[in-house]
Amino acid sequence: MSTGKFITIEGGEGVGKSSNHRFIAEFLSAQGLEVIETREPGGTPLAEEIRELLLTKRSEVMSPTAELLLMFAARAQHLEQVIKPALQRGAWVLCDRFTDATYAYQGVARGLGTDFIIELEQSVQGSLRPDLVVLLDLDPRIGMARAQNRGETDRIEQENIEFFDRVRSGYLARAAANPERFLIVDASVELEGVQEQIASGLTKVLGCASA
């Protein structure tokens, strides 16, 4: 049996990741594929506990390196328990955020750079990389306005707009460096237009998978 494909959804806050997650899952299921839906940080009970540590507001400032290592601690657990077994049995994995988020948030926005992240990625993931990254690209001012009525902000969401500008440019730099696996979606248009862009990108990946 061939292994499944690994698809991630990326972008800043309020760009429409949750709104489009269901669309992608249904699109793939309609092709008869088994789809495992998951997210990072999180995806297993232990990794969800690490997520709580990461997102809970606290008076003690979390060091960027501690933040980075917790992201990879959660990821290591998630990979072993969920992602790798699913791919090995031929399921497709759809994950809200993955290591490209680490490059954008910790590498660029927090200013840690890429060297240590490259080392961690290699140690924790080996050769595993997403087959397709759906990057929802949007001015963070629009994303924040969209996300406004979502309730209280978490520890990372409370960063300032310059932080989220850096997140956006970090993602776009990742996409420019890895054009073969990134689908950049203009998330500023209405939901239907966003989904048309995603469907056409998925069709190409499905074409490759069945070829």
Ligand X SMILES: Cc1cn([C@H]2C[C@H](O)[C@@H](COP(=O)(O)OP(=O)(O)O)O2)c(=O)[nH]c1=O
Q: Which range binds ligand X by CB under 6 A, 22-30, 98-106, 113-121, 176-184?
A: 98-106
In the complex, least distance from residue 49 CB atom to ligand X, rounded to whole angstroms: 14
By CB under 6 A, is residue 105 in contact with ligand X?
yes
Q: Under DSSP, is residue 113 helix (H, G, I), strand (E, B) or coil?
A: coil
Select from 124, 133, 112, 122 the least CA-distant residue to 75: 124
By CB under 6 A, is residue 146 in contact with ligand ADP?
yes
Is 167 one of the annotated binding-site residues?
no
Using the minimum distance from each CB to ligand X, give the nearer residue, 94 or 101: 101
In the complex, least distance from residue 123 CB atom to ligand ADP, rounded to whole angstroms: 29
In the complex, least distance from residue 16 CB atom to ligand X, rounded to whole angstroms: 9
Is 188 one of the annotated binding-site residues?
no
Select from 10, 13, 2, 11 the least CA-distant residue to 143: 13
By CB under 6 A, is residue 121 in contact with ligand X?
no
- What the block records as the tokens of 75 is 């990821």
**Sequence-separated (6 or more) residues with CB below 8 Å from residue 102:** 68, 71, 72, 117, 121
Q: Which range binds ligand X by CB under 6 A, 29-37, 93-101, 113-121, 191-199?
A: 93-101
By CB under 6 A, is residue 102 in contact with ligand X?
yes
Q: Which range binds ligand ADP by CB under 6 A, 70-78, 161-169, 188-196, 203-211?
A: 188-196
Order of strands across the sheet that contains 182-186: 35-39, 92-96, 6-10, 132-137, 182-186
Buried b (16+ CB within 10 A) or exposed e, 16-49: bbeebbebbbebbeeeebebbbbbbbbbbeebee
Q: How far apart are CA 12 and CA 139, in angstroms?
A: 9
The answer to whether residues 168 and 101 touch, using CB atoms and an 8 Å cutoff, is no
By CB under 6 A, is residue 50 in contact with ligand X?
no
**Among ligand X, ligand ADP, none, residue 121 binds (CB under 5-8 Å by kind):** none
Number of residues forming the site for ligand ADP (CB under 6 A): 14
By CB under 6 A, is residue 97 in contact with ligand X?
yes
Furthest-apart CA atoms within the chain: distance in Å: 53
Binding positions for ATP: 11-18
Q: Residues interacting with ligand X, by CB under 6 A?
A: 13, 17, 40-41, 71, 96-97, 101-102, 105-106, 156-157
Q: Residues interacting with ligand ADP, by CB under 6 A?
A: 11, 13-19, 146-147, 187, 190-191, 194
